Amino acid sequence: MAERNEITDYFRGLQADICQQLADADGAAFVEDEWERPGGGGGFARVLEGRAIEKGGVNFSAVHGELSPAAAASLHVDAGETGFYATGVSIVLHPRNVHVPIIHMNVRYFELDGGRFWFGGGIDLTPHYIDREQAAWFHQQLRDTCDRFDPAYYPRFKQWADEYFYLPHREETRGVGGIFFDRLEPATEGKDKADLFAFTAGVGETFAPTYLHLLSLNRDAPFTEEERRWQELRRGRYVEFNLVWDRGTKFGLTTNGRTESILMSLPPVAGWTYDYRAEPGSREADTLSLLRKGIDW
Amino acid sequence: MAERNEITDYFRGLQADICQQLADADGAAFVEDEWERPGGGGGFARVLEGRAIEKGGVNFSAVHGELSPAAAASLHVDAGETGFYATGVSIVLHPRNVHVPIIHMNVRYFELDGGRFWFGGGIDLTPHYIDREQAAWFHQQLRDTCDRFDPAYYPRFKQWADEYFYLPHREETRGVGGIFFDRLEPATEGKDKADLFAFTAGVGETFAPTYLHLLSLNRDAPFTEEERRWQELRRGRYVEFNLVWDRGTKFGLTTNGRTESILMSLPPVAGWTYDYRAEPGSREADTLSLLRKGIDW
């Protein structure tokens, strides 16, 4: 029950299922790129430059090998545990339409020599323009999924996302947050492996219907050149978060990870304007006022 | 001789002189933004969104205060030396025309309580398309300036730039390099303060004539939409270097520095394409082949 192969197969199937749904909704096809990791294992990147999705990446990987000393230290792993196996699915979608939010999803499983293992993942949303009603609906989907497994999950993982997806140098959250969880282990969670796997899978399966609903609501909304520039600036903040603060990105780039997979999350185009100030009372100013931790959507 | 006020005034004048020359060449005017640092001192940012320069920043600052424990550790400073004074000029210019290179220049002076001080700085060039002849001419200007002060400077500081402006995750240098130097102190250099100041000033004064020549050579060269996209991708690498690897940027963003001044270096627009491959034999492939350390231009 929930052996590594079963989990790996599940993630591979989840990737296929999500890509199918996204391709159907978009109308364009994914490009596929299979890659090998020199130290063991590999992955399958699926990339969409589509009609509604300007740049999207859905990556599956299953890698194994020996943790480097730096990686072992960063993961707080003991000397006898440096052999590892890791598998997961990671998604970032940058839509063309300014009124469709950017989304990120990740589900992952990590196993060490000696038998310790854990699950991690999450979904978070980064609207260029925050629509309160849609943000609330998005959070409700996450809450519903969490509540099927444990009523403590949503508040705990929602707060974790608020803390994680934060840009200290801007004093801004990346977007409206979502849920984030890491290192869910039986010993600390009081759950068995099957429960933790089922929850992680539940999060993965929440992704497609949730995003496709938000996409269908907004994909045909009109927008101006000025709003397109705002989208570039918000994508610039996304780049800043990923390159400066995201622990996974940093870890990957400084430990010889596969650069193209790690940086699949970056937008097709991003922009910076010196000391941009939103006009008081504008939709841009309203969005900025909502990039705060602790909002109960 | 070469007291901190004299150095500060010199840097302020250098900024004014460079901005005058850039504005004359560009035809557009700089926007000015004076700022204060909560802990002491402040700066004067001058920003150009011009005809030839799509986004340029020329920042002067003179700040003082107490080093945070993190900053003191990072600078290897003793307990009695935590009061500091720092002044300098920092420039990054992103030109509109694909055939005009991006340039970066910095000159700086740092002084600690107790009397220790040092100079640092450099100039480096990031062409979107490398022109070997122009790269060689650029390096010759730097060599000429260095040689006026010490024949050992150019080879030493050229190598330092190769090491510093490097993206390990891409196995690429940022561009064709230039010179980089830091912590030039009388005790380790065997020079007096006036000499080190004169050299640093010489580097500062090399900037404008060198860049204006490269600008005039290339600013009217025609380019295509595909080449403009290549410029976006190269600017994306510039963003990656600055946000992931540049020690000054990292230090500033994680020690509560002034974000807008630190990120003045980012381009107006940058782009990312999954696993971009240059066509063999193309000008893009030629440029990529030259992004290596140790080239004797």
Residue numbers in A near B269 (CB within 8 A): 232, 269-271
Q: In terms of Cα–Cα distance, which of A91, A24, A21, A92 is closest to A60?
A: A91
Q: Are A56 and A93 in contact (CB under 8 A)?
A: yes
- Quote the pLDDT of residue B204: 98
- Quote the pLDDT of residue A73: 87
- Is A48 strand, coil or helix? strand
Query: What confidence tens digit (pLDDT) does each residue in B144-156 have?
Result: 999 999 999 999 9
CA A174 to chain centroid, in Å, comes to: 12
3-state secondary structure string across A184-229: ECHHHHCCCHHHHHHHHHHHHHHHHHHHHHHHHHHCCCCCCHHHHH
* Cross-chain CB nearest to B274 (options A57, A236, A269): A57
Do B270 and A274 make contact, defined as CB atoms within 8 angstroms? Answer: no
- Quote the pLDDT of residue A70: 82
Q: Are A173 and A293 in contact (CB under 8 A)?
A: yes
Q: In terms of Cα–Cα distance, which of B75, B108, B93 is closest to B4?
A: B108
- Quote the pLDDT of residue A1: 60
Contacts of B224 (CB under 8 A, 6+ apart): none
The whole-angstrom separation of Cα B206 and Cα B200 is 10
The whole-angstrom separation of Cα A237 and Cα B243 is 12
The whole-angstrom separation of Cα A164 and Cα A150 is 21
CA B97 to chain centroid, in Å, comes to: 19
Residues 196-235, chain A, touching B (beta carbon < 8 A): 232
CA B3 to chain centroid, in Å, comes to: 24
Burial of residue B6 (CB within 10 Å: 0-12, 13-18, 19+) is exposed
State the average pLDDT over residues B241-246: 96
- Is B34 strand, coil or helix? strand
- Is B49 strand, coil or helix? coil
Q: A207-243 burial by CB neighbour count: b if 16+ within 10 A, else e?
A: bbebbbebbeebbeeebeeebebbbbbbbbbbbbbbb
The whole-angstrom separation of Cα B161 and Cα A84 is 38
Query: What confidence tens digit (pLDDT) does each residue in B50-76 have?
Result: 999 999 999 999 999 998 888 888 888
Do B272 and A240 make contact, defined as CB atoms within 8 angstroms? Answer: no
Do A240 and B240 make contact, defined as CB atoms within 8 angstroms? Answer: no
Counted residue by residue, chain A has a size of 297
- Tell me how close the Cα of A124 comes to any Cα of chain B, in angstroms: 21
Most B CBs within 10 A among A47, A54, A170, A274, hence the mutation to make, goes to A274
3-state secondary structure string across B240-281: HHHHHHCHHHHHHHHCCCCHHHHHHHCCCEEECCCCCCCCCC
- Quote the pLDDT of residue A2: 80
Contact status of B102 with chain A (Cβ, < 8 Å): no
Predicted confidence (pLDDT) at residue A252 exceeds the cutoff of 90 = no
* Cross-chain CB nearest to A272 (options B45, B169, B268): B268
Residue numbers in A near B273 (CB within 8 A): 55, 268
The whole-angstrom separation of Cα B206 and Cα B199 is 11
Query: What confidence tens digit (pLDDT) does each residue in A180-204 have?
Result: 999 999 999 999 999 999 999 999 9
Catalytic residue among B64, B76, B99, B104: B104
Residue B220 corresponds to which tokens in the numbers above?
Answer: 């009217």
The CATH number that domain B4-289 falls under is 3.40.1500.10
Residue numbers in A near B261 (CB within 8 A): none
Residue B80: pLDDT band (50, 70, 90) is confident
Q: Are B62 and B42 in contact (CB under 8 A)?
A: yes
* Residue A257 per-residue DSSP state: -
- Is A89 strand, coil or helix? strand
Residue numbers in A near B254 (CB within 8 A): 168-169
The whole-angstrom separation of Cα B83 and Cα A293 is 35
Q: Please count the other Cβ atoms lying within 10 Å of the Cβ belonging to residue B208.
A: 19
B120 or A254, greater pLDDT: B120
State the average pLDDT over residues B223-250: 96
β-bridge mates for residue A292, sequence order: none
CA B116 to chain centroid, in Å, comes to: 24
* Residue B36 per-residue DSSP state: E
CA dihedral A168, B111, B204, B236 (to 10 degrees): -20
State the average pLDDT over residues B152-172: 98
Contact status of B277 with chain A (Cβ, < 8 Å): no
Residue numbers in A near B268 (CB within 8 A): 271-273
Q: Are A16 and A32 in contact (CB under 8 A)?
A: no
Q: Which residue has the tokens 């009388």?
A: B186
Residue A64: half-sphere exposure toward Cβ, Cα within 13 Å = 10
Q: Average pLDDT over chain A, rounded to whole?
A: 96
Query: What confidence tens digit (pLDDT) does each residue in A68-125 have?
Result: 888 888 888 888 888 999 999 999 999 999 999 999 999 999 999 999 999 999 999 9
Answering whether pTM is above 0.80, one says: yes
The whole-angstrom separation of Cα A174 and Cα A285 is 15
Residue B40 corresponds to which tokens in the numbers above?
Answer: 């002491």
* Candidate from A3-17, A66-80, A255-269, B261-275 with smallest mean pLDDT: A66-80
- Quote the pLDDT of residue B1: 60
The whole-angstrom separation of Cα A229 and Cα A225 is 6
* Cross-chain CB nearest to B259 (options A45, A169, A236): A169
The whole-angstrom separation of Cα A223 and Cα A53 is 16
Q: Side chain identity at B205, as an amino acid letter?
A: E
First vs last C-alpha separation in chain B:
37
Q: In terms of Cα–Cα distance, which of B191, B105, B100 is closest to B153?
A: B191
- Quote the pLDDT of residue A251: 84
Sign of the C-alpha dihedral computed for residues A260, A231, A137 and A18 taken in this order: negative
Q: Are A175 and A129 in contact (CB under 8 A)?
A: no
